[in-house]
Structure formats: C-alpha cells, structure tokens
A and B are shown apart, each in its own frame.
Chain A
Amino acid sequence: AQKVTQAQTEISVVEKEDVTLDCVYETRDTTYYLFWYKQPPSGELVFLIRRNSFDEQNEISGRYSWNFQKSTSSFNFTITASQVVDSAVYFCALSEYTGANSKLTFGKGITLSVRP
C-alpha cells in the first residue's frame, strides 16, 4: 500500500532563513507521481508541483526547489529566503499508477511558521 510520511509536524523559522520540508514515500509501483500542495491560513489547497517517477531532475521555481531521490524514496521541498507569506501547511502526496484503484494519498502535513 502506498504511504507518505512527513515526519516534521511543525517548523518555525525567522524570515529570510532557508527551510527544507521532508517527504518520504512508500510504493510498490515503478510508475507514480509525487505532489506538493500548500494550504495557507485561508484554507484552500494550492497545487505547487508534480513529479513523475521517471524524472529525477531537481526543479527550481523562484525561491522554491524540490529534490527528488528515488534511492531514498524522498521528495523534499526547500524554500530559500523564506517570507511571512510562506506560512502555511504543506502537504506531500503520492499517486500510484494502479489503474482503477489509483488514488491520491496525502502525508499528514507540515505547519510552517515564518516569523518576521
């Protein structure tokens, strides 16, 4: 069965610090997709990134970067020079390619607080 573990529950940093959010996943499939979502205090879920299991290239988008390592089953998310607006709950999620039973499984989320 697929599983996503976000061992960190709460992280607090001061503005401009770099912060890394960890995500470890378990799956039996060779084809799968990994995601990160952001949930700001307003409550909506905002899609940040999708990565498929065949693409291990790291990705950078502005202050955000993602490190995907199949060898350690990890998909970590780094925010560089954090800002107060980054304060949110961040979810890592996994979708296996198992045909009719495919579903999106979320980790428990990491609450990030960025203090001014």
Chain B
Amino acid sequence: NAGVTQTPKFQVLKTGQSMTLQCAQDMNHEYMSWYRQDPGMGLRLIHYSVGAGITDQGEVPNGYNVSRSTTEDFPLRLLSAAPSQTSVYFCASSANRVMGGYTFGSGTRLTVV
C-alpha cells in the first residue's frame, strides 16, 4: 500500500547509543519531515526536507541529524541518545508543504534508558 513507512515501531536504547530511524515514502512527495510527540507538547518539528539533497532544521533539531539522498528516504539519526529523546517520532510527507495533504507514518516509540 502506498504511504509512509517507518521502522522500527519500537526501540529501546541506552544513553549514549546511536541509531537511525528509517522513513520511506512511495508517493514521490518532495516534502518530508520528522516530528516528535511528547505528552502535553503536541507535535514538534525536528527537521524537514523540501527535496533530495536539501534539508533544514525545525523547532527542536538538537541531537538529531538527517540527510535526503533520494526522494523516497528520509532517515533520522540520533547521534548520542539521551533520556530527553524518549518520545514518539512521526515521519510525514506531502506533495505540497503549504496546502498539506500530509501523510504520516505510524510512528516509532523510542525509549532511552
């Protein structure tokens, strides 16, 4: 089925470990973004990309890296996990970042101990 695929769905990390959250879409959307969801905070933008080779920071980028080598993939890297990064992470894509029509992945629940 067409859509946004996030892997893994669940992950437990130890403080200081690194990992990559994967995000892939098959809708040929130019715009992709990563959000984190924390209780009482809504969804906050981490990084976004307007096309292959172009990325930019969102509201809460510290501790995360992204790259966009292809239109389909937009991985999120945690360089050195911290307990403050315990959250649910959502990847989203859209053909038009203003008009919306955002498609969200099913989320990755990350716990850092």
* A-to-B contact residues, CB < 8 Å: 6, 9, 33, 35, 43-45, 47, 50, 52, 91, 95-97, 100-109
Contact = CB atoms under 8 A, between A and B. Distances in A.
Interface of B: 33, 35, 40-45, 48, 50, 56, 58, 88, 90, 92, 97-102, 104, 106-107
Contacts of A43: 88, 106-107
Contacts of A50: 99-101
A81 B58 CA distance: 38
Given A44-B106, A45-B104, A100-B50, A106 B42 contact: yes
Main secondary structure of the interface of A (DSSP, over half): mixed
9 contacts: A33-B100, A43-B88, A50-B100, A95-B97, A95-B99, A103-B97, A104-B45, A104-B100, A107-B42
A83 B112 CA distance: 37
B58 A103 contact: yes
Given A33-B100, A43-B88, A50-B100, A103 B42 contact: no
Contacts of B104: 44-45
B98 A33 contact: yes
Given A95-B99, A103-B33, A103-B58, 19 more contacts: A6-B42, A33-B98, A33-B99, A35-B100, A44-B104, A44-B107, A47-B102, A50-B101, A91-B42, A96-B98, A97-B98, A100-B50, A102-B97, A103-B45, A103-B48, A104-B33, A104-B97, A106-B44, A108-B41
A92 to B, nearest CB: 9
A9 B39 CA distance: 11
Contacts of B90: 45
A10 to B, nearest CB: 10
> Which of A91, A97, A104, A105 has its CB near the most chain B CB atoms (within 10 A)?
A104
Contacts of A101: 56
Nearest to A104: B102
Contacts of B107: 43-44
A95 B88 contact: no
